[in-house]
Structure 1
Amino acid sequence: MSGDRKVKVLYDERAIADRTEALAMEIAAAEPKDLLVVAILKGSFMFAADLLRALHRAGLEPQVEFFHLSSYLEGTVSSGNVKILRDIESSVRDRDVLLVDDILESGRTLAFAKDLLAARGSRRVLICTMLEKPGKRVVAVDADFVGFVCPDVFVVGYGMDVAHCYRELPFIGRVVTAQDAA
C-alpha cells in the first residue's frame, strides 16, 4: 500500500530529536516522584523509546509500562469507544504517572487512560504527546507536555500509521493525495 504513495515531511528527524530532548528536560523540571511512564500502543512506541532515553539523560529513572488502547480500530476516525486491549501490570498507587502518546486529537483515549489511572490511586497523572491537534478535541483533556501543535491533516510516520503502513518512517508526515498533485 505505501509503496505507491508519497509522504510529505512535516517534522523531520532532527526536529523530533531536539523537541524530545526539550520535553525530557520539561518533564524532569516537574520533579516527578516514583515515575512510571505508561506508553499507549501502538502509535507511541517510537516516541516513547526516544523519550525514555532522553529522560535518562535528564537524570530520571522511570519504570515503563504499556497500555494497548484503541478507539480507531481499522478506520482513520475515532469510533468514540475506547477499549483496553492490554492493561498495565504495575500498581500506580501514590506514584506519578506519565502517559505518553503519539497524538492528542479527540482526547477520548487519553482522557480514558488518565481517569483510569487516577481512579487506581496515582498521585499525579501527566500527559506527554508528540503531536496535538487542538481543533479536534471532543473531550476536555489537555496535555502537560506537547512536542508540536499539528495542522489538521492525517499524519503518519514515527510510529503512526494508516492501515498498519508508514510506522517505520523516521519522520512525521502526511500522505500526499491526488488533490495535492493536481
Structure 2
Amino acid sequence: MQDYHEFLGEVLITAEQIQKRVGELAEQINRDFQGEELIIVCILRGGVLFLGDLIRHISVPFTLDFMAVSSYGVGARQSSGQPRIILDVNTDIRNRNVLLVEDIVDSGYTIKAVIDFLSTRAPKCLRICSLLDKPERRETPVHIDYLGFSIPDKFVFGYGLDIDEYYRGLPFIGTVMADKYHPPG
C-alpha cells in the first residue's frame, strides 16, 4: 500500500477542526431532540468514524442501526447515480425520530435514495447529519440538517473516507493528487 504522504495534496480539515465541529453538531442535536429519543442510522462504511465520535457527545437517549448503500462501482471516483440499498435497518422507525449519519453528500443521489426509502415507513422525523458536503457536485436537491463542513469539489480521503477501501483511519480530511496516487495491485 502506498504511503499517503506521496499523494496528499493538502490537509483540508485537521483532526482538531473535525473534533471541534463534531462536538458542536452533537450539541445542536442534543438541543433539537431534548426530551426525545433518537434512532441514529449510520450509512456504512464511510460514516463509521464520524458516528463513533458523534455519539460520544450525544446526551439524549438513542439506539443505533446501520444501512449500506452502493452507488460507486469498484475503483469508481464518482457516483453511478443509481444507488442500491444493500443493508436495511432492523429497527421499526414508524413514528420515531431518525437521524441519518453520513460521511459526505456529493451528487445527493445516495442520501436522497435513503430518505425516499425510509420515508415510506412513516418516521416521526427524518434528519440528515453529514460530516461533509460538496455543493458544487449536487445533482439532486438535498437538505442537510446538521453539516460539519462544506468543501470544494476535490477528491478527498481520511476520517472514514477511503481510496480503494484504504486510508479510512486517518484523523484528518486530505485531498488527493491524482497523478501521484497508484491504485493497489
TM-score of the aligned structures, taking structure 2 as reference length: 0.90
Q: Equivalents in 2 of 1:6, 1:17: separation in Å?
A: 24
Contact 2:37 2:60 in 1 (8 A): no
By how many angstroms is 1:120 displaced? 0.7
1:9-158 matches, cutoff 5 A: 9-31=11-33, 33-55=36-58, 59-74=59-74, 75-158=76-159
- The amino acid that maps onto 2:46 is G
Q: Secondary structure at the match of 1:168?
A: coil
Identity of aligned residues (%): 38
2:33, 2:60 within 8 Å by CA — same for their partners in 1? Answer: no
Q: Residue 38 of structure 1 aligns to which amino acid in structure 2?
A: V
The 5 A counterparts of 1:152-167 are 152-167=153-168
- Per the alignment, in what secondary structure is the counterpart of residue 54 of structure 1? coil
Cα deviation 1:34-64 (Å, max 9, x = unaligned): 2000000011110011111111xxx212110
Name the amino acid aligned to 1:2: Q
Displacement after TM superposition at 1:140 (Å): 1.4
CA distance in 2, matches of 1:164, 1:84: 19
Alpha-carbon RMSD: 1.4
Equivalent pair of 1:2/1:166 in contact (CA under 8 Å): no
Q: CA deviation at 1:176?
A: 2.6
- State the shift of 1:141 in Å: 1.0
- Paired with 1:70 and 1:9, the residues of 2 have a C-alpha distance of 27
CA contact (8 A) 1:96 1:124 kept: yes
Q: Is the 2:71–2:82 Cα contact (8 Å) retained in structure 1?
A: yes
- Which 4+ residue blocks in structure 1 deviate beyond 6 angstroms? none
> How far apart are residue 177 of structure 1 and its match?
3.9
Query: What amino acid is the match of 1:80?
Result: G
- Say whether the 8 Å CA contact 1:65–1:88 is kept in structure 2: yes
**For the residues of structure 2 that align with 1:2 and 1:137, how far apart are their CA atoms?**
31
More helix by share: 1
Aligned residues: 176
C-alpha contact (below 8 Å) 1:2/1:165 kept by paired residues: no
The one-letter code matched in structure 1 to 2:48 is: F
In the alignment, what sits opposite 2:183?
none
Deviation string 1:41-94 (CA, Å, 9 cap, x unpaired) is: 011110011111111xxx212110010111012111101111111111000000
| Structure 1 segments unaligned to the other structure (5+ residues) | none
* Partner Cα distance (1:24, 1:154) in 2: 26
TM-score by length of 1: 0.92
One-letter code aligned to 1:77: Q
